[in-house]
């Protein structure tokens, strides 16, 4: 299920604005890659190109190749909706459908795909909630609204919803930034579990979090406001945080700027 991602000479634009320049990187299946870097350097922009969400913004475009197991997701023959189905995304703010029940939240994607069999939907709901480490906390209130649980639980509900459709890749854009430290640790534990089955890319402002959860870390930077962001280096997380190749990475992780 988990798939490899390759970015080859990727440039990203918002209209005339060149937001990110020449990104080359590879994400191995069943691994966690963290993107770190100062605000505005393009981390979220790169993440959103990985499931073609970027092109939803009027005037936005991507040059270069983004390959999922060797297939270019921007190929003319590739279907954007199918791409988004295989590449799930979890956002900064937990966004369950607030009035929809917990169970229905989890299987919303499957219903959209036309699955109607109640037994099948219930099975997937349970498996996904177990996978998101939330089952024990909500199993007695599956018919209660998704908006009626804590923020940390809502974020795990969103992860359950993302994995219910069995994606190949999970993208997470600062998934813990709205959460307390306990919920953050719960999500981090969950990420460690999920990487056994999924390819995960996470944007985080929290360098300790990148060090804790990821196998590989990419440091993005930008020369100056208005200039495109770029990938300074990407390497094993341990190396990035102990002995990075580039001085700019060293300065950033040691808190000398950013
Ligand atoms: N919808 C948009 N339209 C135009 N420009 C955008 C849009 N979204 C982001 N940008 C610009 O693209 C650049 C990269 O933004 P992006 O949000 O990817 O950075 P980031 O590294 O994720 O920042 P942060 O850490 O603050 O979330 C910034 O200059 C930003 O202003």
Architecture of domain 93-172: Orthogonal Bundle (1.10)
The pLDDT of residue 134: 94
Alpha carbon of 92 to ligand 1 centroid (Å): 14
**What pLDDT digit, counting tens, does each position of 61-113 carry?**
999 999 999 999 999 999 988 898 899 999 999 999 999 999 999 999 999 98
Domain with CATH 3.40.50.300 in the chain: 1-91+204-240+247-258
Indicate the CATH number of 1-91+204-240+247-258 among 3.40.50.2000, 1.25.50.10, 3.40.50.10490, 3.40.50.300.
3.40.50.300
What's residue 257's pLDDT? 64
| Separation between Cα atoms, residue 125 and residue 130, nearest integer Å | 8
CA distances from 58 to 43, 94, 147 (A): 19, 25, 31
Q: What angle do CA 228, 38, 191 make, to 5 degrees?
A: 110
Is the CB–ligand 1 distance for residue 91 below 6 Å? no
Q: How far apart are CA 178 and CA 92, in angstroms?
A: 7
Instruction: Say yes or no: ipTM exceeds 0.85.
Output: yes
- Please answer whether residues 56 and 66 qualify as being in contact, where contact means their C-beta atoms are separated by less than 8 angstroms: no
34 CA to centre of ligand 1 in angstroms: 17
Q: Which atom of ligand 1 is nearest to the CA of 60?
A: 3
Q: Which residue has tokens 């991507």?
A: 62
Q: Are 33 and 216 in contact (CB under 8 A)?
A: yes
Mutational test site, ligand 1, from 11, 43, 175, max ligand atoms within 8 Å of CB: 43
Helix (H) or strand (E) holding 131: helix 118-131
With contact defined as beta carbons under 8 Å apart, do 128 and 193 qualify?
no
Ligand 1 pocket check for 40: Cβ under 6 Å:
yes
Ligand 1 geometric centre to CA of 40 (Å): 5
Are the beta carbons of 233 and 224 closer than 8 angstroms? no
Distance 84 CA to ligand 1 centre (A): 21
Q: Where in the chain is the domain with CATH 1.10.8?
A: 93-172
Query: Please, what is the Cα angle at 117 between 111 and 122, to 5 degrees?
Result: 80
What is the edge-to-edge ordering of all strands in the sheet holding 71-72? 71-72, 60-68, 5-14, 17-27, 229-236, 216-222, 32-36, 199-203, 169-173, 87-90
pLDDT tens sequence for the chain (258 residues) = 789 999 999 999 999 999 999 999 999 999 999 999 999 999 999 999 999 999 899 999 999 999 999 999 999 999 988 898 899 999 999 999 999 999 999 999 999 989 999 999 999 999 999 999 999 999 999 999 999 999 999 999 999 999 999 899 999 999 998 888 888 998 999 999 899 999 999 999 999 999 999 999 999 999 888 899 999 999 999 999 999 999 999 999 998 765
- The answer to whether residues 143 and 104 touch, using CB atoms and an 8 Å cutoff, is no
Q: SS3 of 157, please?
A: helix
Ligand 1 near 43 CB (within 6 A): yes
Q: What is the pLDDT of residue 212?
A: 95
């Amino acid at each position: 299920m988990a798939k490899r991602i390759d970015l080859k000479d990727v440039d990203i634009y918002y209209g005339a604005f060149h937001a990110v320049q020449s990104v080359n990187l590879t994400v191995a299946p069943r691994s966690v890659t963290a993107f770190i870097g100062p605000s505005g350097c393009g981390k979220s922009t790169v993440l959103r190109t990985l499931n073609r969400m970027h092109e939803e913004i009027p005037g936005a475009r991507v040059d270069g190749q983004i390959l999922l197991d060797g297939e270019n997701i921007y190929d003319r023959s590739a279907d954007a909706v199918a791409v988004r189905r295989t590449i799930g995304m979890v956002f900064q703010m937990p966004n369950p459908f607030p009035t929809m029940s917990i169970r229905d939240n989890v299987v919303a994607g499957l219903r959209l795909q036309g699955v109607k069999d109640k037994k099948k939907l219930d099975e997937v709901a349970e498996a996904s909630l177990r996978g998101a480490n939330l089952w024990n906390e909500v199993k007695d209130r599956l018919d209660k609204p998704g908006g009626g649980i804590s923020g940390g639980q809502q974020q795990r509900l969103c992860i359950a919803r993302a994995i219910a459709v069995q994606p190949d890749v999970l993208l997470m854009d600062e998934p813990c930034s709205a959460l307390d430290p306990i919920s953050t640790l719960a999500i981090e534990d969950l990420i460690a579990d999920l990487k056994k089955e999924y390819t995960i890319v996470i944007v985080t402002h929290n360098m300790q979090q990148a060090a804790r959860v990821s196998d590989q870390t990419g440091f993005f930077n930008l020369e100056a406001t208005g200039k495109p962001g770029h990938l300074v280096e990407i390497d094993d997380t341990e190396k990035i945080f102990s002995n990075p190749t580039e001085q700019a990475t060293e300065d950033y992780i040691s808190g000398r700027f950013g």
